[in-house]
Structure 1
Amino acid sequence: MGNKAPNAAEFRQHSSHWGVFKAALGEDGLVIQAHPGDPDPNGILDNFPAALRHPARIARPMVRRGWLERGPGPDRQRGRDEFVAMEWDQVLDLLAAEIRRVGESHGPGAVYGGSYGWASAGRFHHAQSQIHRFLNTAIGGYVASVNSYSSGAASVIVPHVLGNYEALTKHNVTWDQVATQTEVVLAFGGMALKNAMVAGGGISEHVERPAMQAARARGCDFILVGPLRSDLPEEAGAEWIANVPGTDTALMLALVHTLVAEGLHDRGFIDRFTTGWAEFERYLLGAADGQPKDAAWAAPITGLEAEAIRALARRLHGKRVLVTVAHALQRAEHGEQPVWMGAVLAAALGQIGLPGGGYGYALGAIGYYGRRANAVPSPTLSQGRNRHGNYIPVARIADMLLNPGQDYRYNGQTRKYPDIRLVYWAGGNPFHHHQDLNRLREAFARVDTLVVHELAWTATARHADIVLPATMTLEREDIGYSSHDPLMVAMQRVAAPYAEARDDYDIFAALSRRLGTEAAFTEGRSSREWLAHLYERTRQGLAEKGLPAPDFEAFWEAGSLALPQEPDDGGPWRAFREDPDANPLPTPSGRIEIFSETVAGFGEASCPGHPAWLPPEEAPGGATPLHLVANQPATRLHSQLDFGGHSAAAKRREREVATMHPADAAARGIEDGDIIRLFNKRGACLAAVRVAEDIRPGVVQLPTGAWYDPEDPAEDFPLCVHGNPNVLTRDIGTSSLAQGCTGQLTVVEVEKFTGNLPPIRAFDPPVARPAPQPLAAE
């Protein structure tokens, strides 16, 4: 009668970036069971059942009609045109011919290999590795991207002033140390559990909430600095300091000024472990510019009381203090500054390198930070060698497409944007993570051809010329592995592929066959043979340590394998503190660079040689009096499976939910549950509204990830009716040093929407038209 549940034998082990689980198909659909060893399972798992066979899935290969009829070339009809359903062999023949044309006429420097690393927790069906391996073997390379939207500023500034970014984030202070050692956590931007619930490659244990709960029970004080109270969980019992968004650097400067003025800074640590303090202190005390960066100076900038700033600084003295800075802070104009200044504050307190103390940059920003590393190699697919070698900072894709040949600055270099003809995207949705979507639409209109592998009709797929339906993770086999999670998972197939969907690997193998490069791409292996081949590297690592090392078939049958982990020894930072001469940091001086001669030598006004308060060019006022915080969503990973049940259930009237303070809402005649219009000079979107006290007045919060849904795609600046904040955000770099993403903050006005409410069509597939007659005749 349609209510028989699957039995235990029918469940298959699987993994996702948001959790390990088992799944089975029953008469009522997909059933999910979270990993029994996970103390705090992630609700995002509940997106799978509704998503598996959702109408938003792409059923057949599709080609945009205008591209078929007019051929490759710039076209403003991308995102507005209709599609033609075609057979796989026809589309692969067309695509292979286009790849050959671009490669022979323009070379690999005209191809951009677009991808992002979050497509699957599996290490083989990792879309980024697959597409890059294909382009390297097929045409010798491509224009790549470096850094990420999440940490674009931090990943550039940290090597200059602190050394290895991976060591700072992944081999430093752990959650075990916080639970047992830390006395004060000073969290700039918080440590929101929604972020830590996700880890690349999978996660079997979500430990953040229990660790904070244990620390709080022991007497640790959590202090949250930021406009959103929810950026630390209730278990932390945090004191909330609601500063003006984007002013954390000014607050840190004032805290250090108070420490110095009152003789509370650790001068011994500064002298032994840092370089450049004298230059920075001149700026801090006002000798350089006549303005001391004291609490009175910071108060009007941050929106805090001067005496409260001084009192906070005094509370930190003599305690085991952990300073954390969230990724969110550096996803804004001048994002390098809070990252750098957070390290200076931790150095002034003298806590760096102590258990549970010092600087935990981005702790809580992602699930594998704050954990011990695995002690055996990972099963990772080689991408091969990119013989072309050109790249752009990842957040500068629209600049590249709009300005071929233009010079730009990046990390001390003057570089030139390439002239891209073919964009090939597999894994990722730039209409989620990029800024100023109207500008991005214009950028994509400039290329000859845009190719997308996707499982569903995202806005990126709708803007493509060739759309190839890809399988969902549940429809293929893989190996789930995270560098900092002790469980490797056999990701067993749960369901057959949807309609005509194929694995990325099979698509690229078929294209390689047409291009004469199949042997180089596949090395003669099937997908299952690749899994066994990749697993062998990890198995050998276990065997060398004298640990149980089952063969591949035994691992696959068992479903998972426990892995050994490195000791919780504080990593390079503990070693540096114990002996900085024997264990220098990988910076030019071997020390923490409070002033960097290298950065100063670049001569970038937007990123001077020491951390500084640099006011943003765009601030609330006039027609846009409110800050907008566009942060990560809690009910999905980025925009993935936005049509899933967990994501859909959190929406109101089918729209993403924005949060406003009661005072701001009342001033605009807005009540809880209303539909509001958020707008600025770049665009506008609709959202439902939640009116609550847990946000600073003058701030609106709207998470990213609602699929872009223009009311009228034919318009140049259409209203997004679904609630995608990136129609509002600015597409500029954090600075000319890092060129990172600035999508976290912008300015807007809000009004109650009183018109006829447009329907949500983001998940409706386009109508498949018959192929044009000339093609059919051929």
Structure 2
Amino acid sequence: MSERNKKLTASHWGVGLATIKDGKVIAVEGHPADPMASEINANIPGSLHGRARVRRPAVRKSWLAGTPGAVPRGQDSFIEVDWDRALDLIASELSRVRKTHGNTGIFAGSYGWSSAGRFHHAQSQLKRFLNTLGGFVRSEGNYSYNTALGLMPHIVGPFRAHVAQATRWPVIAKHTDLVVMFGGMALRNTQVSDGGVARHRMAGNLEACASAGVSFVNISPLRSDAAEALNAEWLPARPGSDTALMMGLAHTLLVEDLHDPAFLARYTTGFDKIRGYLVGEADGRPKDADWAACLTGVEAETIRDLARRMASGRTMISVAAGVQRTDFGEQPLWMAVTLAAMLGQIGLPGGGYTVGYGVNANIGNIERPFRWGTIAQGVNPVRDFIPVAMIADMLLTPGGSYSYQGEARTFPDARLVWWAGGNPFHHHQDLNRLHRAFQTPETVIVNEVNWTATARHADIVLPVAASQERTDFGAGKSDNALVPMPQLVAPEGEARAEYDIYADLAARLGTADAFTEGKTSDDWLREIWGVTRDRARETGNNLPEWDSFLAGDVIDLPDPSPEQVFLAEYRADPEANALPTPSGRIELFSEVIAGFDLPDIKGHAIWFPPRDQAEGRGAEYPLAMLSGQPRTRLHSQLDNGAFSLSRKVAGREPVLIHPEDARARGIEEGAVVELFNARGRCLAGARITDEVRQGCVFLWTGAWWDPDFAAPQARDRHGNPNVLTHDLRTSSLTQGPAAHSTLVEVQRFDAPPPPVEAHDPPPFEPDA
């Protein structure tokens, strides 16, 4: 490493060089080899050593007194206890719930990004521990692209594999004429990648495309969803109208004979059904450019012109992950595949489609050459699960029925909830509803670094060591680098590594041998690194011994597939390389989905208007609210850090408002405003800009929820958009979250704005 007085650390947003003074991390800057190091690193010192840090085990006062309903979770005070007492309480609760309700009474809601380390990974550690006790109810999928995970296997194949197989950006620079971006290509999202990213390549690769003459079209209500260097044409379509726009493009290709019948005949099945829908055979209304213009706000001739440009050269269709997080979010995904198939360029260098470009730093830029070593989670004997975005439904309606992937399922009865490595009071929708749902379990346990809203909703809070407080190594799920993560400082207060916590619990419960296998953290790290070295040798790469690696710098490995083209093998020989679909081909019409006979998804792509619009709520709440990943943090992680705080407006999360919408409401730059609808309300700081479409507002995600329970609708004081989003799903097929279909109103907040308390610890009381 070039600077000897600084030490390596690794996070989902990149490699950092930490400066240590008097046992504290006082600064973290980017690695000099990273061309676009993320400023999120600057949040680490303030969050690591700030006032919100959980420093001792704590128990909710009412729960400890045996009157858990006396004060609601999230509003109670806490009593700090020693580790022995906290672990005894947890061991007793686990034993009670297992004996009385079985292991299906335990829900391990470990969803979130947590640590970038390979060993100290919150979900893996908790799941391994609970599996030694007989298992737990889990969640399936994720909030980012759950709809794609559930839909794409029906029509083209497994989405996770296809993300790894995405056409590389250097290939696009060489071969592509036009990139059409539904949902844009926001560089702020590409700061992060699950597990880590050593080199931020996206900005450079996009600039190389622009320099090579590739044209870009940004179809998004937010102009800055495309980097300035792209000089992208901006088509600010109405939120939720992407499917209609795609259909208008497809209709133009069809009626002007610009589609590719030979490709459709050989590589797809069911085009006759979607063709009939496009020309209006079923409902008498052709899905032409004029129809699409009325729904999208994009002029009909602009739509026709774009379709002709797409057909005249090599075109890549990109669909951002956020596009699917809407009402009926399966439809734009299915229609994007249909549109790409009509162009006939799937499998050609630089052509076709990709869902997920820009969702993280690495898609289309790099991939890992082999699977890294990891700690085994073991086998979960409990087969029950819920779709990830249905946590509130499960807690509020145990035993209730729901549909998922064509099956009738029943919600389990979760008596004990254990959350580690995530923050549902950031990820989930309709936080007031989630607050009510969190009152229902008998016990809630949360492992946390800071006093987030989720920690405040716990009965028992365990203080855990942060990444910089224990030894590990970083290796992204889609990155080609290995990063030493030596311990930089001692854990704050009484915080402990989660492995050691579970080892002590396992000893109390008689499962220590199964959990630890007689190994310390250091033993496991050396074993996992040994597995990684063995796999490296199999691919012709030699890695150093553990001690040498830990004392060294980032190790870069070769790119396994720099000229990768998505579905090239399928195009070359569709019989030998048949897709894992019922027909072996791209299913523009799915007999399987049609056979489910669901009300909110049919056998092919179809237009459904967003629910709030269809129900006429636009008159009362005329503004469409969008929310997205901020530049200042990863989701809600480190919101109490210096960089995140520096971008607040009046101490609150900024909301982007178009000048005309602000003028109509008497709102000035920097003013505190209130966003509200029937579900909730929150305060935010006004940023007036024409980069957002008129009729829309944009509120960044991740501000720690700060409810004022004495105010109307428990008004959030800090600017969390999920107090406003509905808790409905995309459809009953995938049950994906649909947070981007939200209507609100905004008004000036003329009263003295209340102080933000989100980054303060809860009240503590002495143990009576």
TM-score normalized by the length of structure 1? 0.96
Q: 1:102-128 deviations in whole A, cap 9, x for unaligned?
A: 011101101100112411110111101
Aligned to 2:445: 451
- Is the Cα contact below 8 Å between 2:367 and 2:559 reproduced in 1? yes
Q: Distance in 1 between matches of 2:227 and 2:279?
A: 36
- The answer to whether structure 1 residue 187 and structure 2 residue 181 are counterparts is yes
AA at the equivalent of 1:636:
R
- Is the Cα contact below 8 Å between 1:15 and 1:489 reproduced in 2? yes
Aligned to 1:661: 658
Unpaired runs of 5+ in structure 1?
1-5, 773-778
Q: How far apart are 1:150 and its partner, in Å?
A: 0.5
Match of 2:700 among 700, 703, 718: 703
- The answer to whether structure 1 residue 638 and structure 2 residue 635 are counterparts is yes
- Is the Cα contact below 8 Å between 2:171 and 2:564 reproduced in 1? no
Instruction: Provide closer, same or farther for how the CA distance between residues 127 and 716 of structure 1 changes in structure 2, counting only shifts above 3 A.
Output: farther
- The answer to whether structure 1 residue 106 and structure 2 residue 94 are counterparts is no
Match of 1:675 among 664, 672, 676: 672
Q: Distance in 2 between matches of 1:589 and 1:158?
A: 14
AA at the equivalent of 1:385:
V
User: Residues 691-730 of structure 1: matches in 2 within 5 Å?
Assistant: 691-712=688-709, 717-730=713-726
User: Residues 365-384 of structure 1: matches in 2 within 5 Å?
Assistant: 365-384=359-378
Q: How far apart are 1:75 and its partner, in Å?
A: 6.4
Q: Distance in 2 between matches of 1:30 and 1:346?
A: 50
Q: Distance in 2 between matches of 1:454 and 1:297?
A: 51
AA at the equivalent of 1:267:
P
Aligned length in residues: 764
Q: How far apart are 1:510 and its partner, in Å?
A: 1.1
- Is the Cα contact below 8 Å between 2:240 and 2:326 reproduced in 1? yes
Q: Distance in 2 between matches of 1:7 and 1:571?
A: 37
- Is the Cα contact below 8 Å between 1:117 and 1:126 reproduced in 2? no
Q: Distance in 1 between matches of 2:176 and 2:522?
A: 46
AA at the equivalent of 1:575:
E
Aligned to 1:50: 46
User: Residues 336-735 of structure 1: matches in 2 within 5 Å?
Assistant: 336-570=330-564, 573-619=567-613, 621-712=618-709, 717-735=713-731
- Is the Cα contact below 8 Å between 1:658 and 1:702 reproduced in 2? yes
Q: Distance in 2 between matches of 1:210 and 1:367?
A: 12
Q: 1:308-333 deviations in whole A, cap 9, x for unaligned?
A: 11111111113111101111111111
Q: How far apart are 1:683 and its partner, in Å?
A: 0.7
Q: Distance in 2 between matches of 1:468 and 1:39?
A: 38
User: How large is the RMSD of aligned CA atoms in angstroms?
Assistant: 1.5
The worse-fitting range, judged by mean Cα deviation, of 761-770 and 727-736 is: 761-770
Instruction: Provide closer, same or farther for how the CA distance between residues 341 and 76 of structure 1 changes in structure 2, counting only shifts above 3 A.
Output: farther
- The answer to whether structure 1 residue 97 and structure 2 residue 92 are counterparts is yes
Q: How far apart are 1:185 and its partner, in Å?
A: 0.6
Instruction: Provide closer, same or farther for how the CA distance between residues 41 and 116 of structure 1 changes in structure 2, counting only shifts above 3 A.
Output: same
User: Residues 23-34 of structure 1: matches in 2 within 5 Å?
Assistant: 23-26=18-21, 29-34=25-30
- The answer to whether structure 1 residue 738 and structure 2 residue 753 are counterparts is no
Q: Distance in 2 between matches of 1:355 and 1:493?
A: 44
Q: Percent identity?
A: 48
AA at the equivalent of 1:737:
L
SS of match in other structure, 2:16: strand
- The answer to whether structure 1 residue 80 and structure 2 residue 51 are counterparts is no
Q: Distance in 2 between matches of 1:293 and 1:217?
A: 36
AA at the equivalent of 1:142:
F
Q: Distance in 2 between matches of 1:444 and 1:694?
A: 38
Q: How far apart are 1:380 and its partner, in Å?
A: 1.6
The worse-fitting range, judged by mean Cα deviation, of 375-384 and 404-413 is: 375-384
Q: Distance in 2 between matches of 1:29 and 1:730?
A: 40
- The answer to whether structure 1 residue 753 and structure 2 residue 752 are counterparts is no
AA at the equivalent of 2:635:
H
Q: How far apart are 1:506 and its partner, in Å?
A: 1.2
- The answer to whether structure 1 residue 278 and structure 2 residue 272 are counterparts is yes
Q: Distance in 1 between matches of 2:458 and 2:431?
A: 15
Q: Distance in 1 between matches of 2:34 and 2:589?
A: 43
AA at the equivalent of 1:588:
P
Q: 1:618-637 deviations in whole A, cap 9, x for unaligned?
A: 12512111100022222100
Match of 2:13 among 5, 12, 18: 18
AA at the equivalent of 2:396:
L
The worse-fitting range, judged by mean Cα deviation, of 569-578 and 83-92 is: 569-578
- Is the Cα contact below 8 Å between 1:178 and 1:211 reproduced in 2? no
- Is the Cα contact below 8 Å between 1:125 and 1:504 reproduced in 2? yes
Q: How far apart are 1:29 and its partner, in Å?
A: 5.0
Unpaired runs of 5+ in structure 2?
none
Q: How far apart are 1:756 and its partner, in Å?
A: 1.2
User: Residues 91-240 of structure 1: matches in 2 within 5 Å?
Assistant: 91-138=86-133, 140-240=134-234
SS of match in other structure, 2:264: helix
User: Residues 246-285 of structure 1: matches in 2 within 5 Å?
Assistant: 246-285=240-279
Aligned to 1:775: none
Q: Distance in 2 between matches of 1:357 and 1:44?
A: 34
Q: Distance in 2 between matches of 1:677 and 1:716?
A: 12
- Is the Cα contact below 8 Å between 1:572 and 1:583 reproduced in 2? no
